[in-house]
Chains A and B, each alone.
Chain A
Amino acid sequence: METVPKLGNNVPPKKDKLQGKKKKPRRYWEEETTQTAAGASPGPPRKRKRNRELRPQKPKNTHSTKKSRISKKPQVPKKPRERRSPGPQRSLSGAQDPFTGPAPVPVEVVQKFCRIDKSKKLPRSETKIRSRLEAAEAQEEEISVKAARSELLLAEEPGFLEGEDGEDTAKICQADIVEAVDIASAAKHFDLNLRQFGPYRLNYSRTGRHLAFGGRRGHVAALDWVTKKLMCEINVMEAVRDIRFLHSEALLAVAQNRWLHIYDNQGIELHCIRRCDRITQLEFLPFHFLLATASETGFLTYLDVSVGKIVAALNARAGRLNIMTQNPYNAVIHLGHSNGTVSLWSPAMKEPLAKILCHRGGVRAVAVDSTGTHMATSGLDHQLKIFDLRGTFQPLSARTLPQGAGHLAFSQRGLLAAGMGDVVNIWAGQGKASPPSLEQPYLTHRLSGHVHGLQFCPFEDVLGVGHSGGITSMLVPGAAEPNFDGLESNPYRSRKQRQEWEVKALLEKVPAELICLDPRALAEVDVISLEQEEKERLERLGYDPDTKPPFQPKPKQKGRSSTASLVKRKRKVMDEEHRDKVRQSLEQQPQKQEKAKPMGARPSALDRFVR
């Protein structure tokens, strides 16, 4: 991002001669500079002089650029602002660039892209290692600065809903919102009156463009809900428990009364998977191409849809499973049980990764937000709780609802929707990463029937609600991520693009066994086997080659090699090492002490008497 044109990287040395022979054009700025420089009238003899004045600048410039290219250390500054060179650089035109150097980048945005966890203190390292670490950090910084720069391309901003002073946003009904927004957005609010085929489950495709829904009494339909173009509509003549799009909108998994069926977007049945029977809930893990199914028989089955194999069938040993959700951050499946626990599952482990006791009664609904930090649960005890999933699994907040929530859903931006009877409540958080505060609902809406399925539409401020009276598409300002990744999930993609993407996604498929609670653990060293190997090596060698041999003083001449002096020297080295250790530990201590000191208030001389 250098705005300054480089002055001749490869200026041939002959140039001087060339100038001497050739007559240069007279440019008005030349006159100007000569005037300012010499304060004399313009004339042709000045030209040479000016050239000479200019020349020393060139090699310097080239030198500096060359150096930066050669040197191993990337010259990325700590703060992007510092990169501005102190002196204004002259461009060819002689005009000064008022904004020299690369454009500044806000530090917070850069911070967002930094992924090296610097909170942990490293053991003291040698210079070689330190230089490696520094290089890694500099590289990361460079990348994050670049990423922060490209943040500029995310032009869209999330929507919002604000009440006039003192007005409660929850009182604003859908009709008001529809009236206020533009026509295109207003068209996104609609109701499908389908009273005949019972309560509906629904699912949006990953791009947010397509909607599939299945009624209890066998009605299955898929449509492009934005244009309202119906893709297919069939009646499977069997109870439909759940419905889910697979990796693209072309495939549709339907959990029917007996077995799991897969249809394409024409409504043609492609597969009937008899190994998955009596399925109650479906969940699709897009990056692993796994379809997770929870059955009445208490089995959690993972089906790899790319190869059609069952990866794992896990017995949860907790009776009928009818509450399931996935953690989008680490692809762990959360199951809710009737004994008030939520268990976390991975296909690689036969037992749950974790079990959390959430409610006194049974769990009725579970939802995990897109960052994987918060989990919302509701139970038979009429409580709605939000848990922190980052290691502690403790409830952050809880509310008693008049009637416990039967369905929960998180939006991309962390809004929480709860379906209670025929009412949908939506709560919003303070910031993006904060959990939704349950103090005040953000929006409420009453439906014509009982809620049976809830999902926020990706990349659209829309909440789809399946209920006994059909389907309702609600407008929820600020629910979805405003900017989509065109290469990842493009709502406007063509068939060809979808096929391209499909191939790429299949190539990047994540193996099922990598699913674990902390996905970043994969970037850690396997310490146990490392230690084991180290131990074996030691045993093989019979000694530790890494340990420094104890200091052996060299014999000295002229009677200075007496035993006493040898011991003395040994002692000296030992003391030095000890002092080093103490110094090191002291270096770490003051940080702790500083923390302990109470902040604020003027330090008083009497502070020392406070015990």
Chain B
Amino acid sequence: MSLSASAPGPCEIQAGEMSSSRAAKSSLLALNQQGELEDLPRDYPLSTSEDEGDSGGERKHQKLLEAISSLDGKNRRKLAERSEASPKVSEFSVNSEGSGEKLVLSDLLEPVKTSSSLAAVKKQLNRVKSKKTVELPLHREEIHREVAFNKTSQVLSKWDPVAQKNWQAEQLVFPLSKQQSIFPPIEHVVSGWKARTPLEQEIFNLLHKNKQPVTDPLLTPTEKASLKAMSLEEVKMRRAELQRARALQSYYEARARREKKIKSKKYHKLLKKGKAKQALKEFEKLRKVNPAAALEELEKLEKARMMERMSLKPQNSGKWAKSKAVMAKYDLEARQAMQEQLARNKELMQKIQVASESVEEEGGAEEEGEPFVPDVVNEVQVKADRPNPWMFRNHSGDTKEAEVQGDPEELAEPAAQEAPESEEEGPVVAEEILLKEFEERRSLRQKSGLNQIAKPVGSQEAKDLSSQEVLSELRALSQKLNRESHQSRKQELSSTRTVLAVQRGEPSGEEEEPLLLQRPQRARTLDELEELGKEGCFQNKELPRAAVEGQQLERNPSNHLGVPKEKKRKEQMTDLQNLLTTKSPSMKSLAVPTTVEELEDEERDQRQTIKEAFAGDDVIRDFLKEKREAVEASKPKDVDLTLPGWGEWGGVGLKPSAKKRRRFLIKGPEGPPRKDKNLPNVILKEKQNIHAVAHQVRMLPYPFTHHQQFERTIQAPIGSTWDPQRSFQKLTMPKVVTKPGHIIKPIKAEDVGYRSSSRSDLSVVQRNPK
């Protein structure tokens, strides 16, 4: 019997009661009843309203209240949903089934109030319930089988270590037999020996009588230990030392912790600045004393700079920068501070690298750097129409430097003219850029220091008025600095050269000296050579200036936007040239080869020198060309799949459209970087030696998953010329050795040292399997 009522309510309940009473009457009328039942709900509201109008309303209200109260949390009751017709349905929506809650055995025990005494019983019940059902009893045969299996495996497991040993053994010798040593051990001989002759006996007697000390007189272990032990004072001293060290450490830690906690930005700034200053001072000192160490220091500084460069926050996106940007329109100081930061950023962003890409990168960086400056600031500058001390200083400094660097007669030459010249003269040696960079940074720092000093002193108006003065002052300062830097650079140059000589092949010593002085011995005989030397010398002399100009070039990116490719090539060229023409110090040999008076020889010499004079540049250009060709040849080729005339007009003088060509051009894959990419003077063949490759291993043996692992195991050579004789024999000994003409019997328990008992176990195995 199913009753499809969805809404629980008094009407339903009534319906239930009615139906039950009717069912009792007759079962034959079931169908009718059902029909009636289904009809009933429709009728009911009426009847209920008739029977109990007031009470129904009351109950409803009560229900609603209950429902509301049950909405919150704990005493929410699951509202029963009737899915089946059942005779017992209470009005409190509690029924025996269909509520979704299973009735658990322990629930029956539950009293109205929970009491602890029943917990044990509950547990027991749970335990009873959780017990698994007992498995089916095994068949007799199966029992036998299992027992037999267990036994056998136990017996056989005795052989496991033996098998394991044999698997792992480096060598197995068959037939298995115990080696019988031919010579009895020394104890046997000794114990069997007797003093027979009277002479021997006499000697023994004598020895016994005299109690000859035979054992060596070395110290006993206890004596040694006592010697080893420290004296009390020593222990005390050591402990005190340790205590002191610990205390110091803790003080230090505490201090560090305290310092770390200081949140004042000003403090940290000051600290940093102080440190930097100190470091610079130390560096200066060090440079005078120990140039090599100074170079290392320089490297460290460079690293610090790099760190700074990496960690430098976006210039105007920081909190501070933003606030300053807002203020910049109105506050001069804020503007200045901002520009200072930008300048610093710019300075840091300048990458130091000789490599040909650096120029382009530099340009890119600078171009990117430009938009960082907020427009507001720029606008204000234009409006103010007043030389910005920062921009202005940078600019003037540059020009002045250039002027000072150049010879006095070149002083009048405007800087603008120099720029194209420098382009022609080509780029710069690495160290020189680096040194220049350093120099500049230093000067900048000094200048900025000066500026900071000057700032508080002079008010803005005063600055305006005395801008000329400042300019002249700066000029003087920069000149002085440059003069200094000239000297210092010389020193640094020599110092760097000494260090770098090993790597770059640049020899140490008298760089600035003309070649003429270097080889006085040959000066008379080889005039042409001198010429050559001069030429080389000239080039070398030019280098510092070229460096300056290169620097300038890098500063204004607009200049070198036009010819980057040409530039790159030239750079390569100069790189090579530097490599080849770096002047090496001449030999001071004791025995100078006598120049031969023979006409023939002299003639040849002359020819040589002429050849030399003309060869130089060609060699490098040719080599570069060759290298370029080799690089091109090794690159994977693009595949052009365009079919002329396919899908469009074809014929003489008609080419497939660019779009089509682009579409059907399959680009070759980008190969791995060439090995000689960073070696300007080398062309390395990339092609594999096929014949040699045929001898290489091309399959990884089993346990290895990576070729490097396997390579490591075969790196040590095996051969009589590589290894000592014994180790070679050991390395090449066969895994299994058999004796010809001998039967190899299966292994027995005795062979591996088992007693007969194990043998009986084995017999069990043999008897059992049927």
Contacts and interface: CB of A to CB of B under 8 A. Distances in A.
* A is bound by B: yes
Interface of A: 5, 7-11, 15, 18-19, 22-29, 31-33, 35, 42, 70, 72, 87-88, 92-96, 98, 115-117, 120, 122-123, 125-126, 128-129, 132-133, 136, 139-140, 142-143, 146-147, 149-150, 168, 170-171, 339-341, 346, 348-349, 351-362, 380-383, 385, 391-403, 420-423, 425, 438, 441, 444-446, 450, 487-488, 511, 513-516, 520-530, 533, 546, 598, 605-606, 608-611
A354 B684 contact: yes
B711 A523 contact: yes
A609 B587 contact: no
Q: Which 4 residue pairs of A and B lie closest in terms of their CB atoms, listed nearest first? A: A421-B593, A605-B256, A395-B505, A513-B691
A155 B496 CA distance: 44
B263 interface: no
Contacts of B612: 360-361, 380-381
B181 A339 contact: no
Given A132-B703, A385-B505, A72 B170 contact: yes
A397 B592 CA distance: 21
Contact of B272 (A42, A94, A125, A609): A609
Contact of B713 (A72, A132, A382, A546): A132
Contacts of B689: 346, 348-349, 513, 516
Contacts of B707: 524-525, 527, 530
A361 B712 contact: no
6 contacts: A92-B186, A92-B190, A94-B215, A149-B724, A354-B685, A400-B587
Interface in B649-701: 675-676, 679, 681-685, 687-693, 695-700
A31 B208 contact: yes
B214 A29 contact: yes
Interface stretch (B80-88, B320-328, B614-622): B614-622
Interface string B582-612: 1111110111111110000000000010011
Contacts of B692: 348, 513-516, 521-522
Given A146-B727, A423-B593, A610-B275, 6 more contacts: A5-B186, A400-B587, A401-B586, A524-B711, A525-B700, A530-B700
A357 B619 contact: yes
A441 B589 contact: yes
A402 B589 contact: yes
Given A348-B692, A354-B684, A123 B587 contact: no
A117 B589 contact: no
A380 B615 contact: yes
Contacts of A393: 679, 681-682
A402 B216 contact: no
A549 to B, nearest CB: 17
B445 interface: no
A516 B704 CA distance: 27
Nearest to A546: B705
B696 A522 contact: yes
B452 to A, nearest CB: 20
Contacts of B256: 605
Contacts, number: 345
A116 B715 contact: yes
B587 A133 contact: no
B42 interface: no
Contacts of A129: 703-705, 709
A450 B596 contact: yes
Contacts of A27: 190, 204
Contacts of A528: 688
Nearest to B252: A605
Contact of A29 (B169, B215, B507): B215
Interface in B369-408: none
Nearest to B728: A143
A175 B256 CA distance: 71
B231 interface: no
A332 B213 CA distance: 68
B703 A126 contact: yes
B679 A394 contact: yes
Contact of A392 (B589, B679, B727): B679
B715 A425 contact: no
B603 to A, nearest CB: 15
B723 interface: yes
Which of B595, B690, B706, B711 has the most C-beta atoms of chain A within 10 angstroms of its own C-beta?
B711
B120 interface: no
B42 to A, nearest CB: 43
B260 interface: yes
B594 to A, nearest CB: 6
Contacts of B684: 353-354
Contacts of A23: 194
Contacts of B683: 352, 354-355
B92 interface: no
A133 B709 contact: yes
Contacts of B687: 349, 351
B703 A525 contact: no
B724 A117 contact: no
A351 B521 CA distance: 42
A25 B195 contact: yes
A87 B590 CA distance: 63
Interface stretch (B101-109, B236-244, B300-308, B423-431): B300-308
Contacts of B215: 29, 32-33, 93-96
A346 B687 CA distance: 13
B521 A402 contact: yes
B522 interface: yes
A287 B260 CA distance: 68
A168 B502 CA distance: 24
A394 B611 contact: no
Contacts of A382: 529
Which of A28, A392, A399, A606 has the most C-beta atoms of chain B within 10 angstroms of its own C-beta?
A28
A31 B585 CA distance: 80
Which of A146, A487, A533 has the most C-beta atoms of chain B within 10 angstroms of its own C-beta?
A146
Contact of B709 (A115, A117, A125, A142): A125
Contacts of A125: 705-706, 709
A444 B589 contact: yes
B616 A123 contact: no
Given A129-B705, A393-B682, A398 B696 contact: no
A441 B586 CA distance: 12
Contact of A395 (B211, B271, B579): B579
B685 A349 contact: yes
Contacts of B260: 605, 608
A358 B715 contact: no
B211 A524 contact: no
Interface string B497-533: 0000111111100000000001101100000010000
A480 B304 CA distance: 49
Nearest to B583: A400
Contacts of B705: 123, 125-126, 129, 546
B699 A611 contact: no
B727 A354 contact: no
A611 B312 CA distance: 10
A394 B695 contact: no
A530 B699 contact: yes
Contacts of A400: 518-519, 583-587
B623 A96 contact: no
Contacts of B690: 348
Contacts of B593: 402-403, 420-423
A400 B468 CA distance: 53
B187 interface: yes
Nearest to B179: A10
B371 to A, nearest CB: 25
A11 B187 contact: yes
A598 B300 contact: yes
Nearest to B190: A92
Contacts of B717: 115, 523
Contacts of B688: 528
Interface string B238-280: 0000000000000010011001100000001001100100000
A494 B2 CA distance: 119
